[in-house]
Amino acid sequence: MVGFGEDDLRALAGARSYERGLGYLDAVSGLEVGEGSVSAVVHGTDVYEVEFTLGGDDGTISGWCDCPYGQEDNFCKHCVAVGLTVLRRAKTIPQQRAAARARSSGLEAWLSGLSREQLLALVREQIAEDRALRRRLELRAAAARSDLGVVRDRIIALIDPRPFARYGYVEYADATGYSRQVAEAAAALRAATADGQAAQAVGLAEEAIRVLGEAYGEIDDSDGVVGQAAAAVARAHLEACRVAHPDPERLAEWLAGTVLDDSNDVVDLDPLDYADVLGQSGLARVRQLVTEALRRRPSGWAARYLMERLLKAEGDVDALVALHARDLDPSGATHLHIAEELEAAGRSDEALAWAERGLRDCTAETYIDGRLVDYVCVGYMRAGRTAEAVAVRRDRLCIERSLAAYRQLRSAARTADRWETERAAALATLREDARREQGGRYGGPVLIDALLDDGDVDAAWREAVGRADDRQWERLADLSRERRPGEALGVYLRLVERSKEPTGDRAYERLARLLQRVRDCHRALGTEEEFGVYFAGLRTELKRRRKLMSILDRHGL
């Protein structure tokens, strides 16, 4: 028994990752079974290391992979592949786990029996062969003897990108190797904190974050692996601060300075994560510094975002509204954001008032954030103000002249039981556009799209002559084929003529569909022989297009 099944893997990974994992079964190698876990490598875009925990009595399982998706704490396709491989070998897993336990017990007993001299000899042997282990132990030793100069030099060396920058730039292929060194630096910082050097680790982490920020612009971190390792350095800084309790105001100044520095985008520091260390005085100092930054540069994105975070944490809705009101987007998106903040605070009347203000402020704009218009109309409908909702939709149609705006007006007017009146006025507006030859999105007038959307086929026929584009003609013919086959046939024949020139599978499929409709019209008219003559001539004309002939055959033509 391995304690899990395929359904567990599918639930953890999701359907997409599970299906993709099926394709990696042959890419799993080096499977090693431990007491409670399995490790393996999976060959994909790169070679990825996977560790998969075996289900216990409760069936709980998990997986870790060093691919970019896995490092975001996702159960990826590589984990799925390893899990499925374990299930394939389910019969042998219990014996392998028992063997792993025996090996572990044997190793523990053997180590316990070694003398001090023998243990030292063993460690020296390992560090001579394993450079990474040697570096880690050197750092631990330096931290233990408070040799912070050595610790600092080693950490800075680990995050120095120059050994990886063959052309003055860390290329994509080298980013993973560099990220491993940055992660090692983070581990060294955590070790320094654990060894009683938390105060020193704070300063070292801050220097490391500064160096990383300066170097990040010269690194191709397309997969985000360096950013993830840098985040580990930032977490090590937070851990050290929680142990060392540095001066709150000094920490506030460093955090604000780092967050507000536009050139440092390698780590996403959030001062609120440090709230327990900063205390009230430190948070107040952060807010003061951010306020000063906004005064100097009101449009600064980082300062605005940080101030928004601080105000939300404090629950100061009025200050938050004032912050957003300083820079109102002409689309109304900011008005909507303010309305949503007020709504969340239980201030619905003020929220709707801000949304209404957004419509007034943006009334001359062709583009208004559709979510703002929806917000206002939903608010009106909820309050029983249906006439006002209809008026908003009517105004938007006058400005946008789009099928979407027409549909929204129709929906609101039907709710208010006044669509008949509104429809006449709306069509008059669109008809005036059609007279001025202001085409719709696809070339033909929106008026024709609106009539077709209403199902008013007769009116659409009247308006289409000399105005409709091919898309609209085809739609009109499709809706009329059964009732007016003769008129539909004329449309389809014109479209066939225009469709003979383009080549390629998509063009040929469209031509075949049009010809099927031509045949349907002839059948409805009882002129199938006429279609046979027409189609034979068309095949003769286009016979050199072998792919077209094949597609026509497949469609039964």
> What DSSP letter does each residue of 205-228 carry, written as one string?
HHHHHHHHHHHGGGB--TT-HHHH
Same-domain status, 66 and 36: yes
Last residue of a domain, which of 113, 144, 162? 113
- The reported pLDDT for the residue numbered 59 is 60
- The reported pLDDT for the residue numbered 327 is 86
Last residue of a domain, which of 437, 467, 497? 467
- The reported pLDDT for the residue numbered 439 is 45
- The reported pLDDT for the residue numbered 376 is 95
- For residue 391, being part of any structural domain is answered with yes
- For residue 367, being part of any structural domain is answered with no
Tokens found for residue 316 = 């100061």
* Residue in the structure block whose two tokens are 């950490």: 155
Tokens found for residue 310 = 């601080």
Same-domain status, 506 and 431: no
Same-domain status, 14 and 100: yes
Q: 251 with 278: CB under 8 angstroms? A: yes
Tokens found for residue 392 = 């908003």
In three-state secondary structure terms, 339 is: helix
Give, in order, the Cα–Cα distances in Å from 362 to each of 174, 335, 341, 412: 50, 10, 20, 21
Domain range enclosing 550:
481-554
Taking the whole predicted model, whether its pTM rises above 0.75 is answered as no
For 108-127, the pLDDT digits (tens) are 899 899 899 999 999 899 88
d(C-alpha 199, C-alpha 246), whole Å: 7
Tokens found for residue 278 = 């900063």
- For residue 239, being part of any structural domain is answered with no
Same-domain status, 515 and 485: yes
- For residue 81, being part of any structural domain is answered with yes
- The reported pLDDT for the residue numbered 461 is 92
Q: How many CB atoms lie within 10 A of CB 466?
A: 7
Chunked mean pLDDT (size 10), the chain, 557 residues: 82 89 91 88 87 70 85 87 90 87 89 90 88 76 74 85 86 88 89 88 93 89 88 94 95 93 80 93 94 88 89 91 90 93 94 93 78 94 93 90 92 93 92 70 80 92 88 92 91 92 88 93 92 91 89 88
- For residue 504, being part of any structural domain is answered with yes
Q: For the chain, how many structural domains are there in total?
A: 3
d(C-alpha 342, C-alpha 10), whole Å: 41
- The reported pLDDT for the residue numbered 152 is 83
Last residue of a domain, which of 90, 113, 136? 113
Same-domain status, 491 and 457: no
Number of H helices, E strands in the chain: 27, 4
- The reported pLDDT for the residue numbered 116 is 92
- The reported pLDDT for the residue numbered 441 is 41
